[in-house]
Amino acid sequence: MPRVILMGPPGAGKGTQGEILAEAWQVPKIAPGDIFRAEIKQGTELGLKVKSFSDSGRLVPDEVVIEVIESRLRQPDTQVGWILDGFPRTVAQAEALDALLAEINQPYDAVVNLDVPDQFLVDRLLARAIDQGRADDNEEVIKNRLEEYNAKTRPLLEFYGKHVTQIDGTPSMPEVTETIKKFFA
């Protein structure tokens, strides 16, 4: 089963594709955000640490995110494969991930980038915000998230270079899923 780093800007469909593919391939989808929310809900030490960062409006530091990913990748169910969703987000995280994967002998098979134009994402995220009643997701907030992605995460496409497979993320969800599955067939 594949070991995949799933990338793309906010609203590209990473979370949805990650869940669909993880189920189809019977591998875990590993997303730091999901892990953090679960830890906060359970009131664990990690959850309290993460909550203190988010409550003060700060990002969770790289070393904490990397620690969480390392712990998760060392669990037995990851031996068959995995999908990383939302990690790495920076070149520093990618370098730490490469070192970790070498250490645990779990190299990634591919970096899949869901490529979606910014204006398409803005329109998609505004529609999603209206559907879900998320008043905090206005056009300005969405554009700020895209700017942060373009500044901090897009450079990873250069970091991974020839290992990146570009997938058009604008067609329907099932079409995008089929395109990704064909790549791994």
Annotation: binding site for ATP: 11-16, 128, 171
Catalytic residue IDs:
14, 89, 128, 134, 145
H-run or E-run covering 60: none
26 CB-near residues (< 8 Å, 6+ apart): 1, 80
Sign of CA dihedral 134, 61, 55, 72: positive
Smallest CA-to-CA distance from 184 within 31, 14, 27, 25 is with 25
Annotated binding site for AMP: 37, 58-60, 86-89, 93, 134, 145
Q: Does 76 sit behind a cis peptide bond, omega within 30 degrees of 0 on the bond before it?
A: no
Q: How far apart are CA 141 and CA 143, in angstroms?
A: 6
Annotated binding site: 11-16, 37, 58-60, 86-89, 93, 128, 134, 145, 171
Please state whether 133 falls in left (phi above 0), alpha (psi between -120 and 50) or beta.
left
H-run or E-run covering 82: strand 82-85
